[in-house]
Chains A and B, each alone.
Chain A
Amino acid sequence: MRTLRSWVLRLAGLFSPGRREDEIRQELESHLQLHIDDNVRAGMSPAEARREALLRLGGIESVKETQRDRSGVPLLQHLARDVRYAFRVLRRNPTFTAITVVTLALGIGANTSIFTLVNAVLLRPLPYSDPARLVMIWGTDPRTGGREMSVSYPDFEAWRDGTHSFEHVAAFTSRSVTLGGAELAELVPAVQTTSGFFRVLGMNALAGRLFADSDETSEAQPVAVLSDAAWKRQFGGRGDIIGTTITINQRPHVVIGIVPSEFHFIPTEVEQVYTLLPRETNREHGYLRVIARRRPNATMAAAQAELDVIATRTAAAFPRTHAGTGIALVSLEAAVGAPVRDGLLILLALVGAVLLIGCTNVANLLLARNASRQHELGLRISLGAGRARILQQLLTESLLLALAGGAAGLVMAPILTDALLAMLGSGVPLPRIEGVNIDRTVVLFTFGVSLAAGLVFGVVPAAVAAPSALQASARDASRTIAGTRAGQRTRATLVVVETAIALVLLAAGAMLTRSFLELRATAPGFVTGDVLAVGLRLPVSLAPGAQRETFFEELRRRIETLPGVRSAGFISSLPMAGGRDTLQFRLKDQPGAKPLSANFNIASPGYFKTLEIPIIAGREFSNADGASTNPVIVVNETAARRFWPGRAALGTEIAVSESTSTLKVIGVTGDVRQSDLGTAARPEIFLCALQPGPGWSTFALVVKARGEPMSLLPDVRASLRAVQRDVAISRVGMMEDVVAGRLAQPRAYTILLGAFAALALILAAVGLYGVISYSVTQRTREMGIRLALGSSPAALVRSILKTGTALTAAGIVIGLAGAYAVTQSIAKLLPGARGGDPLTLAGVAVLMLSVGSLASYLPARRAARVDPLAALRVE
């Protein structure tokens, strides 16, 4: 109680410092006067009386100081005074201040901008009511390592009906659909769901209504929900859209509602159309993702336990398809961020390392500057400042610098973030990217990082300066040799630390650059020049058997006769465009053996020629291969080696599991990098598009042009419409761009890390230069003496170089261990990257050593040019 009262008074004292000061002065004056009077009465001379009184009081200033501390809150008062003082000091050294603030602004700005992404993608809650209760439910198969597997419709039904932990359970999948009929047909992203989907998410319709269970019955009319974006883009935001009939995949659907497009389940694409999934009974067809809303009182563990029971039951009931499989529960928030979490966190760690190097440099600058302020600090100590006060004042300066840097960084962050997003662009599809902006969390993060940075670069120099300032006050003339030595040692340690961190960043950057260059130089197995690729979605009317084959043949004939076209062909899975189909098959001459599995692809005559994929043996498909001739296939080199080891594949036959007909190998082609440049070719089998085959409906048309391929597009479109009006065209692009798109992600990571690494190298070099340069300046006198005593300038240069190189080498040795570990973990994120590669590490070490030597050579040369006489006169 008493303590509280006195604190209130002390805080109140803060606001009237003048009056309080006055009061203390008057009281002490009156004290002295009374004492002097007494002394005079006792017979002293006035001068003597005054001297004695002052002596007994114990130094007016020191009493006043204690009194001040007691009457206010010293920490706060000192803080205010220190801030004012720090402002003055920083303004007096504009160059130092500018360099420091810019260094920090860059470092903190970069951290803020990466954190902005982390915040938007990983931290911010999803735009649904109570998103923490949303979960994804996946199938797992521990035997094959499958962790997040799509499941079948019967599986979904078992989970929905057999659990009590969830309010709603829904399944969905995303397949593009053809929107509109005839002329207007367009392939748009779409989601097929069960009726509970929007109830799980807790989403409400912007207009109309959402799916009801009655919409799912087989006799109900097909219905569709549009996203806000689709409504505006496809239907011009028409007010009367609800209740109208639109054509989706050639079937009429009634539009029943519109939902906001804030969130979408296909990364980077705003969903256009939601339709209902037809019920299915096939347990082997796994294509559904399951989402559910937990009941408020059901824990994750309880829900998981329920699912485990179902998993055991299903595995026992359907051993052929489900033996050994399990069910895994994961929160939606974790699931959404999962694909990019590691990448983002590694970026955040690395950009943090860059800031750490920046801080080390600032710490070094501060050390040097504090050394030159020894005199001032010593004076302050002589005047009665304690060690803690000096520390506090120096730290205030550091924090002020850091906050200035942080503020500038916060201003820079949006610019950096925009640049970052532009660069990551299509290569790294970030979920929830539309929500990237600077909010309170980001500002708090920046503030925290700034404070931390201020402490990191402020504590060490302040701790070094304060005791040496004490010594300075004691022995002013000796120029604080001891203090300088402690400072020099600290500076050397800091340089070693920053060299080590920089080496780690360099190694990461070098590894990425190297694997990116290798990747770019990788031959994809086909020639991309002058090739136009057009995505097609065939209507159901073009079923395999007759119509589809005629369509391919007719369209290809028309296009190949267009002026400016060299050749054309169709393929079901275009290389590097995503998507692949795996089927099982048996070799005809080994009927008893286990079934084999390979990628299956449907290619038309002209496909291999158009992409210039070499035919190694046999021939490619021709128009002569048709429904009436024997079914034929072409296999790639990897398949030929894998399935027909030591013998010719040509002329042998295979049988695809469910089909009875046999397929004869008529050709072997060169390998093609099907999924991306970093992934080696898988065994691949091409079926002939002119013969009956699987009813796949997405294809790509590739056209090799004589001139500018894009100029062919109108003619290609016209030909397509002439042959079949309701084929939807999806993506159109140059084959080069398709391949480049696959390089976008590694390129983005490479540029980003390369920039970090370059920044780290420069900062480390500047740090080393500063330290060597400073030590040379400090030792000018010693240099002069050594030169005067006959030491050669070359020997001086050598000795300084040795110091610099030793520091760099120490940093490199420490850094190599870190570099090895860090590159290993980054390599896991990128196809084709190798971590801990000795050649890369060695190269980086040599680069660091050279830069370090150069950074110490420049000041060394200056030392050698010292005029001995001038140097000796310095003191």
Chain B
Amino acid sequence: MSSDRAEVWQGTLALMILKTLDTMGAQHGYGLARRIEQTSGHSLAVNYGTIYPALLKLEQEGYIASSWGVSENNRRAKFYTLTGAGRKQLAREAREWERTAGIIARFFSPKASS
């Protein structure tokens, strides 16, 4: 993966993590990876491992917090939760994303080309 694409991917992944945590509440890395995979309809067939650097980055930036807990089937796991800053960041990113997506969409829509 080239570095540009890696960055785009990291940014996208971070947004997906924030959104997932927002809808599902506290979740561990494996659960997040599984969830993102399902939501994206298996179109993002990537290594689960790539989620961990993204999690660490978000945690360092203060958007998420982590604590060790026990999973539904009694396994020790590190759970991540959204912080207040994370919630704000998600709202901001989502708005940004929608605007970008809207602009891109207008470029590719048949109306724009006429």
Q: Does B78 lie within 8 Å of A27, measured CB to CB?
A: yes
A-side contacts of B73, CB under 8 Å: 37
Q: Does A6 lie within 8 Å of B60, measured CB to CB?
A: yes
Q: Does A58 contact B (CB under 8 A)?
A: yes
Contact of A6 among B48, B52, B57, B78 (CB under 8 A): B57
A-side contacts of B46, CB under 8 Å: 58
Q: Does A214 contact B (CB under 8 A)?
A: no
B-side contacts of A28, CB under 8 Å: 49, 52
How many angstroms from the CA of A33 to the CA of B75 in the assembled complex?
8
Interface size on B, residues (CB 8 A): 24
- Name the residue on A nearest B31 (C-beta): A34
**Which residues 65-90 of B have a CB within 8 angstroms of A?**
71, 73, 75-78
Q: Does A59 lie within 8 Å of B75, measured CB to CB?
A: no
A27-B29, A34-B75, A56-B47 given; A5·B60 CB < 8 A: yes
**Which residues 1-35 of A have a CB within 8 angstroms of B?**
2-3, 5-6, 9-10, 24, 26-28, 30-31, 33-35
Q: Does A34 lie within 8 Å of B57, measured CB to CB?
A: no
B-side contacts of A71, CB under 8 Å: 56, 60
B-side contacts of A37, CB under 8 Å: 73, 75
- Name the residue on B nearest A13 (C-beta): B60
Q: Does A31 lie within 8 Å of B30, measured CB to CB?
A: yes
Q: With both chains docked as a complex, state the minimum distance between the C-beta of A514 and any C-beta of chain B, in angstroms.
A: 61
A-side contacts of B76, CB under 8 Å: 26, 30
Q: Does A34 lie within 8 Å of B60, measured CB to CB?
A: no
A34-B30, A66-B53 given; A57·B48 CB < 8 A: yes
Q: With both chains docked as a complex, state the minimum distance between the C-beta of A73 and any C-beta of chain B, in angstroms.
A: 12
Q: Label chain A's interface by main secondary structure.
A: helix
Contact of B50 among A10, A33, A58 (CB under 8 A): A58
Q: Does A62 lie within 8 Å of B61, measured CB to CB?
A: no
**Which residues 8-64 of B have a CB within 8 angstroms of A?**
28-31, 33-34, 46-50, 52-53, 56-57, 60-62
Q: Does A63 contact B (CB under 8 A)?
A: yes
Q: Does A59 lie within 8 Å of B49, measured CB to CB?
A: yes
B-side contacts of A56, CB under 8 Å: 47-48
Q: Does A557 contact B (CB under 8 A)?
A: no
Q: Does B53 lie within 8 Å of A67, measured CB to CB?
A: yes
Q: With both chains docked as a complex, state the minimum distance between the C-beta of A122 and any C-beta of chain B, in angstroms.
A: 49
Q: Does B49 lie within 8 Å of A57, measured CB to CB?
A: yes
A-side contacts of B30, CB under 8 Å: 30-31, 34-35
Q: With both chains docked as a complex, state the minimum distance between the C-beta of A386 and any C-beta of chain B, in angstroms.
A: 12
Q: Does A30 lie within 8 Å of B28, measured CB to CB?
A: yes
Q: Does B52 lie within 8 Å of A63, measured CB to CB?
A: yes
- Name the residue on A nearest B85 (C-beta): A2
B-side contacts of A58, CB under 8 Å: 46-50
B-side contacts of A5, CB under 8 Å: 60-62
A-side contacts of B28, CB under 8 Å: 30-31, 34
How many angstroms from the CA of A3 to the CA of B48 in the assembled complex?
25
Q: Label chain B's interface by main secondary structure.
A: helix
A27-B52, A34-B28 given; A6·B61 CB < 8 A: yes
Q: With both chains docked as a complex, state the minimum distance between the C-beta of A15 and any C-beta of chain B, in angstroms.
A: 15
Q: Does A30 lie within 8 Å of B53, measured CB to CB?
A: no
Q: Does B56 lie within 8 Å of A67, measured CB to CB?
A: yes
Q: Does B57 lie within 8 Å of A70, measured CB to CB?
A: yes
B-side contacts of A70, CB under 8 Å: 53, 56-57
Interface size on A, residues (CB 8 A): 28
Query: A45-69 interface mask toward B, CB cutoff 8 Å, 1 = contact, 0 = none?
Result: 0000000000011111011001100
A-side contacts of B62, CB under 8 Å: 2, 5
How many angstroms from the CA of A31 to the CA of B28 in the assembled complex?
8
Q: With both chains docked as a complex, state the minimum distance between the C-beta of B97 and any C-beta of chain A, in angstroms.
A: 18
Q: Does A2 lie within 8 Å of B61, measured CB to CB?
A: yes
A-side contacts of B50, CB under 8 Å: 58, 63, 66
Q: With both chains docked as a complex, state the minimum distance between the C-beta of B81 and any C-beta of chain A, in angstroms.
A: 15
Q: With both chains docked as a complex, state the minimum distance between the C-beta of B68 and any C-beta of chain A, in angstroms.
A: 8
Q: Does B49 lie within 8 Å of A62, measured CB to CB?
A: yes
How many angstroms from the CA of A70 to the CA of B56 in the assembled complex?
7
A-side contacts of B56, CB under 8 Å: 67, 70-71
A28-B52, A34-B28, A35-B48 given; A10·B78 CB < 8 A: no
A27-B29, A37-B75 given; A9·B60 CB < 8 A: yes
How many angstroms from the CA of A33 to the CA of B50 in the assembled complex?
17
Q: Does A67 lie within 8 Å of B75, measured CB to CB?
A: no
Q: With both chains docked as a complex, state the minimum distance between the C-beta of A56 and any C-beta of chain B, in angstroms.
A: 5
How many angstroms from the CA of A57 to the CA of B33 in the assembled complex?
10
How many angstroms from the CA of A84 to the CA of B73 in the assembled complex?
45
A37-B75, A67-B53 given; A31·B48 CB < 8 A: yes
How many angstroms from the CA of A56 to the CA of B56 in the assembled complex?
19
How many angstroms from the CA of A24 to the CA of B66 in the assembled complex?
13
- Name the residue on B nearest A31 (C-beta): B30
- Name the residue on B nearest A23 (C-beta): B78
How many angstroms from the CA of A715 to the CA of B73 in the assembled complex?
118
Q: With both chains docked as a complex, state the minimum distance between the C-beta of A686 and any C-beta of chain B, in angstroms.
A: 88
A-side contacts of B29, CB under 8 Å: 27, 31
Q: Which of A2, A60, A62 has the most CB of B within 10 A?
A: A2
Query: B83-108 interface mask toward A, CB cutoff 8 Å, 1 = contact, 0 = none?
Result: 00000000000000000000000000
Q: Please name 15 pairs of A and B residues whose Cβ atoms are closer than 8 Å in the assembled complex, sorted by A.
A: A2-B62, A3-B61, A6-B61, A26-B76, A31-B48, A35-B30, A35-B48, A56-B47, A57-B47, A58-B46, A59-B49, A66-B50, A66-B53, A70-B53, A71-B60
- Interface residues, chain A, CB within 8 Å of chain B? 2-3, 5-6, 9-10, 24, 26-28, 30-31, 33-35, 37-38, 56-60, 62-63, 66-67, 70-71
If A5-B62, A30-B28, A71-B60 are given as contacts, then 9 extra A-B residue pairs at C-beta distance below 8 Å, sorted by A number, are A2-B62, A27-B29, A27-B77, A28-B52, A30-B76, A30-B78, A31-B28, A37-B75, A63-B52
5 closest A-B pairs by beta carbon, nearest first, are A58-B47, A63-B49, A6-B60, A58-B49, A34-B30
